[in-house]
Amino acid sequence: MTLEAELWSDITPIPLDDGPDPLAPIAYDAEYSEAMGYFRAISQKDERSERALQLTEKIIEYNPAHYTIWYYRQQILFSLDKNLYEELDFVKDQIDSNPKNYQLWHHRQVLVEKLMDASRELPFIDEILNDDAKNYHAWTYRQWVIKTFNLWENELDFVNKLLDKDVRNNSAWNQRYFTIFFNPTKPTEEFLTQEIEYVIEKIKMAPNNISPWNYIKGIIAKSNKDIGILEELCKEIENQDIISPHVMGCLVDIHESRARNGSAIDKEEGIKICTLLADKHDTIRKRYWGYRKIILASH
Amino acid sequence: MVNFLILAKSHNASQKSRGVEIFWCYWGKSGNRKMIGSDNPTPDKFSNIIRYHVMFYNVEITWYRINHLFDTLRPNNYYFFSNAMGILSGSRNLVELFTNTDAFPTESSKAQTDTEVSVCELYKAARDKNINTIKLNRESHIKYVKDGLKRLPSYLVALDASKPWLCYWMLHSLDILGDELSQDLVEKGISTISKLQNPTGGFGGGPGQISHAAVTYAAINALAIIGTKEAYDIIDREALYKWFLKLKKEDGSFVMHEGGEVDVRGAYCVLSAATLTNLVTPELTAGTAEWIKRCQNYDGGIGGEPGIEGHGGYAFCGLAAMEIMGKTDLLDIPLLLHWATSLQMQLEGGFQGRPNKLVDGCYSFWVGGLFPLLEAIMTRNNFEKDVEQRNFEVSQYIAQSLFDREALQEYILIACQSPKGGLIDKPKRSADNYHTCYCLSGLSTAQHHVVYDFEKAKEKGLDSGARSLLWKDEITNRIVLGNPNNLINPTHPIHNIALPKVRKMIEHFYGKRDF
């Protein structure tokens, strides 16, 4: 017995019933099996107590993905009216050691929703992103915090910093789009013009970086601009004898948009670039560029 | 009737050699193979042999190795690849395939270069070997899975809330590897999963755990793979349906469990399980397609929720859920295709899950699995147009698939097999059941071409179960890289279960179907 005997003397643990000969049985540690035995017993009675809370902590130590335990823990916390700020500290420690776990991040969201206080959230997320700037859970949670608590104001600065650190961080580019286009305050025409300038500078730093290419095409489509505005950039990079499939792919898009409006020269030029990509510069996507070629030919 | 023809090229055929050394070549019914040539015929001669067999014996050709030596051999009426595919047999040297860092390295590009170096080492070693030695270590993977079915180590307590996932990953791996489930496994499987069902509907991650959408998806899939009436009959459909509705939110999304998180996995898991058990209703799907549409991003990828970065796993869930609902036209398909193709790595051949992230064997399925869906959608869209607007060339082209199926197989077979059995994320990682399942599912997706019978689909009012039955393994369009014995079973593009198992479960819950 590793749990305090006295505390649990009134409870008869319920053993695991997974049948006579289950598939893929896990060789549980005795302590985990024991804790789960008590959990089954007290959850049956829906006991919400200090000892139940401690028990959930013990089980979570073994398995932080135990969603049933987390849900139960939340009910206990709220029933006992526990200090949720202390629970934020607890879940912070948990996330520090398990940063890619659905349950932990969701638990934090449940707590903050209850507290309606996000003052600790952005600094905490910053810390996690500092260790892994592409942590999907952290970004998902960050967007929820920003939307829910209207914390748009400094987000673009934050994104700028991350892009200065690693211009290939696609999560940061995505956050940039979120910050500008999911914000209830819509961007002005002037802002968008500046934004395109910003991205062009980033593209020039590393023309083979896919993320800003996707991003700039995204904002051009969103703001109904003509993709042809990128032609100058593409030519400028090509004139430096830099070969980038993204430059070539962008030119295909440009030529295609003009071919669609009946330009035979663009159709021909687009097909030529697709052939180069398929046979020489982007051979892994040979099938894709072949497909684009057929589409171009049909215009 | 001759029903197959197997071709393979000799290991020592130098790429510069004009003639082609045929290592061996069989034709005949299985179990009745005849050799038709073991010498070194010229491409012309060989091409004639194939043509002859295509014409007179109605052969269905399985190309067991396609590289540029064979291009000249393919009969003209077969619209196969116009040029070399794959990494090792491709037209570029390995060194040319390193990602260009534009002399501006950052954290992302450094990690990428490191990964490329480790994969490149393996490719260099494989390049000079007999093509036949690129082998799926089938027996050792089967042993790895079977050992896990008997007992898992204590550290896997971290998966104690994912028991149906473990069952599904393992049983599906065995199933597509062609290892028939023993009666013992069938009985244990039914008993294990029956202990996880809750009277309030759905399945929990372990006995006594609350129901969870992803876990329920895995439980239903596992029961489908077990594939007996006893297995199907443990499902309490009435309770399941009520529970599904409880998960539904007003905006059309689904939570993963009572009090749980929302993301696009919820929609896919619920709809896949509901399709297999005949529970898809307008009530269940109302608003869901519109919500998933909002999850598609500016770059074409689909994220977990609106606004979130596109991600291979969520993209698969989103697209498959839309296909179940017949609502793929709400998505920007060309942009999704562009994004999906961009994720295939030019040196590694495998897929990354997001742009500028590292290759991982599991995306062989999550991203590789987008292609059968995308190809079906694009082909169908083309055929739904008026005759004069249809582009037959496009349909014909799409019918040969839009990613590099050889390169993906190279990554899985050369870089993702653990010598101790089981498959892995990337070199130097250790095996687990998740990666074993999804590397194998990706391998299956690359070897087979599972297509949608869009002619049948035009019939009016097909329910989602019927539509799931329209997926057929097109056996004339298989590509098996390396050893001919590497071929594994085809998997269903929506449910990721072997095709016959999908049919059996659907016919159980919907009644016999005549197609």
* ipTM attached to this prediction: 0.97
Q: What angle do CA B67, B69, B72 make, to 5 degrees?
A: 110
CB neighbours of A280 closer than 8 A, spacing ≥ 6? Answer: none
Mean pLDDT per block of 10 residues along chain A (299 residues) reads: 81 94 96 96 96 97 97 98 98 96 98 98 98 98 98 98 98 98 96 97 98 98 96 98 97 98 97 96 96 94
Which chain B residue has its CA at the smallest distance from A141's CA?
B308
The pLDDT value recorded for residue B91 is: 75
Angle formed by the axes of helices A155-165 and A170-181, nearest 10°: 160
Count, residues in chain A: 299
- Identify the band that residue B21 occupies on the pLDDT scale cut at 50, 70 and 90: very low
pLDDT tens digits along B183-198:
999 999 999 999 999 9
Chain B, 367 to 396: residues with Cβ < 8 Å from chain A are 391, 393-394
CA distance B92 to B502: 41
Report the number of secondary-structure helices (H) and strands (E) in chain B.
Answer: 22, 7
Contact between A137 and A100 under an 8 Å Cβ cutoff? The reply is yes
Q: Test A24 with B261 for CB contact under 8 angstroms.
A: no
Q: Test A29 with B260 for CB contact under 8 angstroms.
A: no
Q: How far is CA B264 from CA A211, B99, B269, B295, in A?
A: 23, 32, 9, 8
pTM of the model: 0.91
| Annotation marks residue B354 as catalytic | yes
The pLDDT value recorded for residue B34 is: 40
CA distance B146 to B140: 10
Mean pLDDT confidence for B406-429: 97
Contact between B93 and B127 under an 8 Å Cβ cutoff? The reply is no
Other residues' Cβ atoms within 10 Å of the Cβ of residue B7: 25
CA distance B35 to chain A (A): 33
- Identify the band that residue B442 occupies on the pLDDT scale cut at 50, 70 and 90: very high
Q: Test A134 with B156 for CB contact under 8 angstroms.
A: no
Residue B27's φ and ψ, nearest 5 degrees, are -145, 160
Phi and psi based region of residue B281 (left: phi greater than 0; alpha: psi -120 to 50; beta: remaining): beta
Burial B320-348 (b: 16+ CB within 10 A, else e): bbbbbbebbeebbbebbbbbbbbbbbbbb
The pLDDT value recorded for residue A218 is: 98
CA distance A219 to chain B (A): 8
CA distance A38 to A43: 8
- Please name the residue ranges forming H helices in A182-239: 189-205, 210-222, 231-239
Percentage of chain B lying above the pLDDT 90 cut: 71
Q: How far is CA B95 from CA A190, B119, B129, B278, in A?
A: 44, 12, 19, 52
CA distance A147 to B382: 40
Kindly list the residues from chain B whose CB atom is less than 8 angstroms away from the CB atom of residue A206: 101-102, 104, 106, 109
Give strand ranges (E) for B228-372. none
- Identify the band that residue B30 occupies on the pLDDT scale cut at 50, 70 and 90: very low
The pLDDT value recorded for residue B399 is: 80
- Identify the band that residue B459 occupies on the pLDDT scale cut at 50, 70 and 90: confident
Q: Virtual CA dihedral for A119, A120, A122, A127, nearest 10 degrees?
A: 160
CA distance B11 to A270: 39
Mean pLDDT confidence for B265-282: 98
The pLDDT value recorded for residue B181 is: 95
Q: Test B101 with A206 for CB contact under 8 angstroms.
A: yes
pLDDT tens digits along B199-243:
999 999 999 999 999 999 999 999 999 999 999 999 999 999 999
- Judged by a CB distance cut-off of 8 A, whether residue B102 touches chain A is yes
**Identity of residue B182:** S
Which chain B residue has its CA at the smallest distance from A44's CA?
B208
The residues of A annotated with a catalytic role in the active site are 100
Q: Test B195 with A19 for CB contact under 8 angstroms.
A: yes
Kindly list the residues from chain A whose CB atom is less than 8 angstroms away from the CB atom of residue B338: 288
Kindly list the residues from chain A whose CB atom is less than 8 angstroms away from the CB atom of residue B185: 23
**Which token pair is A140?**
């998902």
The pLDDT value recorded for residue B49 is: 58
CA distance A229 to chain B (A): 18
| Annotation marks residue B362 as catalytic | yes
Q: Which of A7-11, A85-89, B17-21, B286-290 has the lowest mean pLDDT?
A: B17-21
CA distance A9 to chain B (A): 22
Residue B7's φ and ψ, nearest 5 degrees, are -125, 145
Mean pLDDT confidence for B6-28: 37
CA distance A88 to A83: 9
The pLDDT value recorded for residue B27 is: 41
Kindly list the residues from chain A whose CB atom is less than 8 angstroms away from the CB atom of residue B263: 140
Strand order in the sheet with B61-63: B32-35, B22-29, B5-9, B61-63, B478-479
CA distance A58 to chain B (A): 13
CA distance A29 to chain B (A): 6
Which chain A residue has its CA at the smallest distance from B154's CA?
A27
Tokens 């749990």, located at residue: A3
CA distance B59 to chain A (A): 26
Give the closest of A21, A102, A285 to B341, CB-based.
A285
**Residue B64 clears pLDDT 70, i.e. is over it:** no
Which chain A residue has its CA at the smallest distance from B103's CA?
A206
| Of B432, B509, B448, B502, the residue nearest B169 (C-alpha) | B432
**Identity of residue B370:** L
| Of B39, B65, B64, B60, the residue nearest B50 (C-alpha) | B60
**Residue B334 clears pLDDT 80, i.e. is over it:** yes
What DSSP character marks residue B444?
Answer: H
Q: Test B83 with A286 for CB contact under 8 angstroms.
A: yes
Give the closest of B108, B161, B306 to A63, CB-based.
B161
Which chain A residue has its CA at the smallest distance from B152's CA?
A26
The pLDDT value recorded for residue B84 is: 53
Q: Test A67 with B205 for CB contact under 8 angstroms.
A: yes
| Of B487, B371, B388, the residue nearest B136 (C-alpha) | B487
Give the closest of B106, B210, B339 to A68, CB-based.
B210
- Judged by a CB distance cut-off of 8 A, whether residue A169 touches chain B is yes
- Judged by a CB distance cut-off of 8 A, whether residue A63 touches chain B is yes
CA distance A207 to A201: 10
**Identity of residue A45:** K
Question: Taking every pair of C-alpha atoms in chain A, what is the biggest distance, in angstroms?
Answer: 87
- Judged by a CB distance cut-off of 8 A, whether residue A183 touches chain B is no
Which chain A residue has its CA at the smallest distance from B389's CA?
A298
| Residue of B135, B146, B294, B357 with catalytic role | B357
Residue B478's φ and ψ, nearest 5 degrees, are -100, 145
CA distance B502 to B498: 7
**Which token pair is A261?**
């409006």
The pLDDT value recorded for residue B83 is: 39
| Annotation marks residue B473 as catalytic | no
The pLDDT value recorded for residue B104 is: 97
| Of A73, A79, A41, the residue nearest A60 (C-alpha) | A73
Chain A, 189 to 248: residues with Cβ < 8 Å from chain B are 205-211, 214-215, 217-219, 221-222, 242-244
Give the closest of A102, A218, A221 to B261, CB-based.
A102
